[in-house]
Structure 1
């Protein structure tokens, strides 16, 4: 994964190289770097929201039935909600 700092450095290098070649390329690269910065901010905010929504519940288990089967069998099923265990090491079978 590429960090925001390395993205900014790469955008600055492109802008500097474009400025040496001509003015129009520098304007285009600076507008694309602003778009990239806004996109990275949106991605970071989306990741923070996902972390807030997922942190209050946890469900784990092992699927033991065949993937093409109509029946579902899950072993070692555990369900936690806001830090409280609701189901611990159980089996779930749906026919």
Structure 2
């Protein structure tokens, strides 16, 4: 059985931060806090940029990391912005 500390790499932790920011942005949107949600999406962009950098730099690229990054990108840059736009337009 793997210890979580050895299984998750620095890049995976940044990806987890990215996905958490995406979910938090969606919660803010549903609570009509559009400005904070937009800021969280921007911070997610920064976290997304660093996770790939750290994975390549530390040579810890993995299939799990690539799939996890794709999932976080779908949430942070697909679902959250779509919900943000829908919320903004429907007001």
**TM beyond 0.5:** no
TM-score by length of 2: 0.37
Q: Higher helix share goes to which structure? A: 2
Structure index of larger Rg: 1
TM-score by length of 1: 0.36
Q: Which fold has the larger relative contact order, with Cα–Cα distance below 8 Å and residues 6 or more apart in sequence?
A: 2
